Structure 1
Amino acid sequence: MTNLAHLRKSALALPEVEEGTHFGMVAFSVRGKGFVSLTQDGHVQLQLPDDAADAAVAAHPSGERLVRMGTPIGFRVPLADINGKDLNALLRAAWSSRAPKRLAASLTAAETAADGPVGDLPAGIGRPATRALSGAGLTTLEQVAQHTESQLLALHGVGPKAIRILTETLAQRGLTLRK
Structure 2
Amino acid sequence: MDTVKAAAATLALALASPAMAATVTSTDATPDMSVQAVPQDASVLDLGFAWTGTPASGYFEFTATNPFDVYFADYSPSDADGEVTGLAFYRSGADTRLTMQGDFCDDAALAAVSGKCSLIAGTDADGARAMYRPNGSTSLFGTLDAGTYVLGLYEGGRPASGSARFQVVETPEPSPVPLPAAGLLLTAALAGLGALKRRA
The bucket for the TM-score relative to the shorter chain is under 0.3
> Which structure would you say has the larger RCO, counting Cα contacts within 8 Å and 6 or more residues apart?
2
More helix by share: 1
Q: Using structure 2 for the length normalisation, give the TM-score.
A: 0.26
Bigger CA radius of gyration: 2
More strand by share: 2
